[in-house]
């Protein structure tokens, strides 16, 4: 699989973006190395290509600056299991400014007994921010884990106007 990558700088953070012919496939953790992509696409061939990521770069920068409320991007989410893809599709339906618990998310995809598997699928989301896994919290209301770290999760939810 060929993934065309570039980087985006927003404030003091650098994000790597990776796209395939089908669309955006990866948004990296702030200030992580490009090799993070191999955690999601272990056999990928990486090709530096600014133009392949232009459709996502500006909208993501605008979102991080607080001037964009939603994304309308082609996404490539084919590199997951059926369960992962169903969880990622469900994440896209969580409205901006709201949160959902892992158990509520499991119920939404008709897998109420698979809360741990759903949580694992959320954690395996390769499209940080764009597929809003930051909107999933613990049943207790605590933020829980996040690939970008708890401070980033809190910042994104605050940016979206979520009640914390």
Tell whether pTM > 0.85.
yes
14 pLDDT higher than 90: yes
- pLDDT tens per residue across span 16-40: 999 999 999 999 999 999 999 999 9
Indicate which residue of 133, 136, 156, 157 is catalytic: 133
The answer to whether residues 86 and 47 belong to one domain is no
The answer to whether residues 99 and 150 belong to one domain is yes
Say which CATH number the domain at 115 has: 1.10.10.10
Note whether residue 164 is domain-resident: no
- pLDDT tens per residue across span 109-124: 999 999 999 999 999 9
Q: What whole-number distance in Å separates Cα of residue 82 and Cα of residue 69?
A: 28
Quickly state the pLDDT bin for 145 (edges 50, 70, 90). Answer: confident
Cα 121 to Cα 15, 20, 31, 94, 164: the distances in Å are: 21, 21, 23, 15, 23
164 pLDDT higher than 80: no
In this prediction, residue 141 carries a pLDDT of 83
The answer to whether residues 154 and 102 belong to one domain is yes
The answer to whether residues 26 and 59 belong to one domain is yes
The answer to whether residues 96 and 154 belong to one domain is yes
Domain containing 9 equals 1-63
| Domains: count for the chain | 2
Instruction: Spell out the long-range contacts of 36-42 with Cβ–Cβ below 8 A and sequence spacing 24 or more.
Output: 37/3, 37/5, 37/126, 40/79, 40/124, 40/126, 41/1, 41/3, 41/79, 41/126
The answer to whether residues 147 and 95 belong to one domain is yes
Note whether residue 71 is domain-resident: no
The answer to whether residues 87 and 114 belong to one domain is yes
Catalytic residue check, 133: yes
Quickly state the pLDDT bin for 98 (edges 50, 70, 90). Answer: very high
Say which CATH number the domain at 8 has: 3.30.160
- pLDDT tens per residue across span 27-74: 999 999 999 999 999 999 999 999 999 999 999 999 999 899 989 999
The answer to whether residues 40 and 95 belong to one domain is no
CB 83 within 8 A of CB 111: yes
Note whether residue 74 is domain-resident: no
């Amino acid at each position: 699989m060929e993934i065309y990558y570039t980087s985006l700088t927003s404030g003091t953070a650098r994000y790597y973006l990776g796209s395939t012919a089908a669309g955006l496939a990866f948004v990296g953790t702030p200030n992580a190395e490009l090799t993070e992509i191999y955690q999601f696409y272990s056999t990928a061939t990486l090709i530096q290509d600014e133009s392949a990521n232009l459709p996502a770069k500006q909208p993501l920068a605008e979102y991080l600056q607080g001037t964009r409320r939603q994304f309308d991007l082609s996404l490539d989410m084919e590199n997951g299991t059926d369960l992962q893809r169903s969880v990622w599709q469900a994440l896209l339906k969580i409205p901006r400014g709201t949160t959902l618990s892992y158990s509520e998310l499991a119920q939404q995809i008709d897998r109420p007994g698979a809360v741990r598997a759903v949580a694992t699928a959320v954690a395996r989301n390769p499209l940080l921010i764009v597929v809003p896994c930051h909107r999933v919290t613990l049943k207790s209301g605590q933020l829980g884990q996040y690939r970008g770290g708890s401070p980033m999760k809190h910042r994104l939810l605050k940016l979206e106007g979520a009640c914390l």
